[in-house]
Amino acid sequence: MQYLSTSDQTKLYYKDWQSAHPDPAQRTVVLLAGWPLSADSWDDVALAIANAGHRVIAYDRRGFGRSSQPFNGYDYDTLADDLDAVLTHTEARNVVLVGFSMGGGEVARYLSRYPGSLVLKAAFVASVAPFKIVVEADTTGTAATAYEKTKQAILTDRAAFFEGFFDKFFGAPDISHPVSDAQLAWTRSIALQGCLPATLGCLHAFSHTNFDADLTTVKIPTLVIHGSDDKIVPISDDGRKKAQAIPFAKLIEYPGAPHGLFATHKAQLTQDLLSFIQS
C-alpha cells in the first residue's frame, strides 16, 4: 500500500495507476472522492481512464478509508494543502483534477490557493461548489435546521443515517435503474470506515464554506457534470451556477440523474471525462 505524509504528519493512502502503454499525450488524472467515501468509489472510472493510456491518482481523504484519522484538519484550506502534498509527492505533471461532490470544493480551493500550478483542466462532477447549506445571511433557519438535523442523526445512529442517505444518493426508488443492493451495501461500508471527527468535520466544511471567490479564479478549461434530479446537491444551486461563474466552463446535464453518477451513469460519465481529458 502506498502512503505519503502531509505537513502535519497525516498519512494519506493513494493509488497510482498507469498502463504499460501510455498515451503519447498522457495526462495525470487526479480523482477526488465525495463525502463520506474513499478512493475506492472511483475504481471503475479510474480503470477505464488508465486503460486509455493516462496516469490515474486517487487518494483517501484524511479521516477516511485507509488514511490517518486525526482529530482536526477537516477545513478546505487543509484539504487543499493535502491535495498539493499528493501532487508534489507523486511529481504529477499535465494534471486534470476531477472532484466529485465534496471533492469539487477541494478542486476549487486548490486552484485559488495554488495559482500557477501544473493543472491543465478541471472537472466538477455533482460538485458542492458554490453550494452552501448554511450561510450567515440566511434568516429563514431552514438551512441551519437541516444541517443540525443531519449532524444529530449521525451522532445518534450513523449506520442508520447512511442507509437512508445512500438511497437518496443513488436516486432510489425514483430512477428507473437504481443501483443494486450490493452496491448500496458496499458504499455504506466505505462510509463507515471514516472516523466520526472526519465525518462531522467534513459535513461542517462543505455545509458552511462559500466557494464563490474561489470559482472566479478558475481560468482553465473546465467541465461541469451534474444530474438534473440530484437530491443531495441540487443542480440549480450548484451545477448551473458553477458553469456561469467559471469563464471557460462547459456544462453537461444528465436528465433525471441522481447524485451518485459514478455508479448510476458509470459508462456515460467515463466517456464524457475521457473526451474532456483527451480533447
pLDDT for 103-131, tens place per residue?
Answer: 999 999 999 999 877 899 999 999 987 75
* 127-131, 165-169, 248-252, 263-267: the lowest-pLDDT one: 127-131
Tell me if residue 207 is catalytic. no
26-52 pLDDT, tens digit each: 999 999 999 999 999 999 999 999 999
Q: Which entry of 41, 67, 101, 127 is annotated as an active-site residue?
A: 101
pLDDT attached to residue 237: 72
Three cell numbers, residue 127: 460538485
Residue 7 · residue 83 · CB < 8 Å:
no
- Average pLDDT of the residues in 209-227: 93
Is residue 205 scored above 70 in pLDDT?
yes
Residue 57 · residue 82 · CB < 8 Å:
no
Of residues 192 and 240, which shows the higher confidence score?
192
Q: Which entry of 40, 259, 265, 272 is annotated as an active-site residue?
A: 259
- Average pLDDT of the residues in 200-213: 92
Give 168: exposed, middle or buried? Use CB within 10 Å, 0-12, 13-18, 19+.
middle
pLDDT attached to residue 118: 85
Q: Return the domain boundaries, the chain.
A: 2-278
- Confidence band for 261, pLDDT divided at 50, 70 and 90: very high
3-state DSSP assignment of residue 79: helix
Q: Which entry of 40, 60, 230, 238 is annotated as an active-site residue?
A: 230
* 14-18, 61-65, 179-183: the lowest-pLDDT one: 179-183
Is residue 136 scored above 50 in pLDDT?
no
| Amino acid letter, residue 41 | S
Q: Identify whether 130 is preceded by a cis peptide bond (ω within 30 of 0).
A: yes
* 47-51, 54-58, 140-144, 256-260: the lowest-pLDDT one: 140-144
Percent of the chain with pLDDT over 70: 94
Tell me if residue 81 is catalytic. no
- Average pLDDT of the residues in 73-102: 97
Most confident of 112-116, 131-135, 208-212, 265-269: 265-269
Distance (Å, rounded) from C-alpha 190 to C-alpha 148? 23
Tell me if residue 230 is catalytic. yes
- Going 203 to 205 to 210 to 215, the CA torsion angle's sign is negative
Provide the whole-model pTM. Answer: 0.94
**CATH: 3.50.50.60, 3.40.50.1820, 3.20.20.70, 3.30.390.30. Which one for 2-278?**
3.40.50.1820
Q: What integer best gives the mean pLDDT of the chain?
A: 91
Three cell numbers, residue 217: 479564479
Residue 162 · residue 188 · CB < 8 Å:
yes
Is residue 134 scored above 50 in pLDDT?
no
Contacts of 72 (CB under 8 A, 6+ apart): 197, 201
- Confidence band for 235, pLDDT divided at 50, 70 and 90: confident
